Amino acid sequence: MATTEAVKAKTLLGECSAELAGTFILILFGCGVVAQVVAGGIGDHDSIAWAWGLGVTLGIYVAGRMTGAHLNPAVTIALAAFRGFSWRKVLPYSVAQFLGAFLAALVVRWNYTEALHKVDPGLTIKTQGVFSTLPGNGSMDLGVHMWGGFRDQIIGTAILMMVILAITDLRNTSPAANLAPFIVGLLVVGIGMAWGTNAGYAINPARDFGPRLASFFTGYGGAMKDQFGDVYFWVPIVAPIIGALVGAALYDLLVGRNLPIADEDEEPGRIPEADTETGAGAKAANA
C-alpha cells in the first residue's frame, strides 16, 4: 500500500533561521581566515579569497533548501526589486543575515582573543580588518578614501549580482542545482582576487556591519571609522545595495530579456520541489 509523506510547510521563522545559519557559517570561515592571517601570520590574500569563497559555498548548502540562501541583504533587495521576491520578507531576512554575521564574528573574536591582543594590544585599525572592511584595506599608502571605497563596492556588488542571476537563471546555461553553490563560491573567490584592493570586497552589508558591530562591542572603539578618521561603516551597507540593483538591472537589460521564456516561473530565491515523476533536480541556489 502506497504511503504519502507529509510535507512540512515552510514558515517565515524557519526561513529566517536558515538565513541566520547560512550567514553564520559564511562569516565563521570569512572572518576566521582573516584572523588567522592577521593575528597568526598563517596564509595570505589568496587563502583569504579562497576561504571566503568556501564560506559562501558552505553557507549556501546550509540554507539553500529553505530559502535559496541569499545570505546578503543586497541580494535579497535586488531579488525583491527584479525577481518578485516578497517585499514583506526583505526586512526579516536582512535582520536574520545581520544577526548571523554578528554572532559568528563574536565566536571568531572569542576564539582568537589571545592572538589578537598579542599582535595588537590596543585593538586598533591594525587588526580591525579581521572583522570589517576599510578603504585600501586600512593602508594610507594607496590613497583610497571613503568615496573610493564607495565606488568600489558598487562595482564589486554589481558583478556579484549580475553573475548570480546568470548562474541561477534556468533559461541560461545554469549549472546543476548541487553545483551552483560551488560556482557562486568561485565567483566570490574571483571578486576577492580581482577586486579586493580598494575596499576589501565586502559586497554584502551583513558581512560587514554584523562583524563590525561585534568588534565595536568587544573593544574596537574605532570600528565605525576608517584609518583617516572618516565615519565609514555606512559605505559597505549602502554601496552594495546600489551595486546589487545595478547588477540585476544590467543582467536583465543585456541578457535576461533576450532569453527564451522558461517553462516554469519559480519563486525567486527558492529551490523548487523535486519532480517526483521525473526525478528532476532542484534549481540552483542564490548566494
Q: Is residue 183 part of a domain?
A: yes
Burial class (CB in 10 A: 0-12, 13-18, 19+), 46: exposed
Q: Is residue 285 part of a domain?
A: no
Q: Is residue 266 part of a domain?
A: no
Average the pLDDT over 124-152 and give the result.
96
Whether pLDDT at 254 is above 90: yes
Which DSSP category does 136 fall into? G
All three cell numbers of 13, joined, read 521563522
For 165-181, letters b (16+ CB in 10 Å) and e give bbbbbbeeebeebeebb
Q: Is residue 154 part of a domain?
A: yes
Q: Is residue 1 part of a domain?
A: no
Quickly count: other Cβ atoms within 10 Å of residue 40's Cβ.
13
Average the pLDDT over 180-196 and give the result.
96
pLDDT band for position 172 (50/70/90)? confident
Q: Is residue 73 part of a domain?
A: yes
Whether pLDDT at 281 is above 50: no
Full domain range(s) for residue 139: 12-254
All three cell numbers of 235, joined, read 559605505
Read off the CATH number of the domain in which 243 is found: 1.20.1080.10
pLDDT band for position 8 (50/70/90)? confident
Q: Is residue 263 part of a domain?
A: no
Alpha-carbon gap, residue 81 to 209, rounded angstroms: 22
Residue 121 vs residues 114, 139, 219: alpha-carbon distances, Å:
10, 19, 10
Q: Is residue 284 part of a domain?
A: no
Whether pLDDT at 267 is above 80: no
Whether pLDDT at 217 is above 60: yes
Domain count, the chain: 1
Q: What is the pLDDT of residues 46-91, one digit of tens each?
A: 999 999 999 999 999 999 999 999 999 999 999 999 999 999 999 9
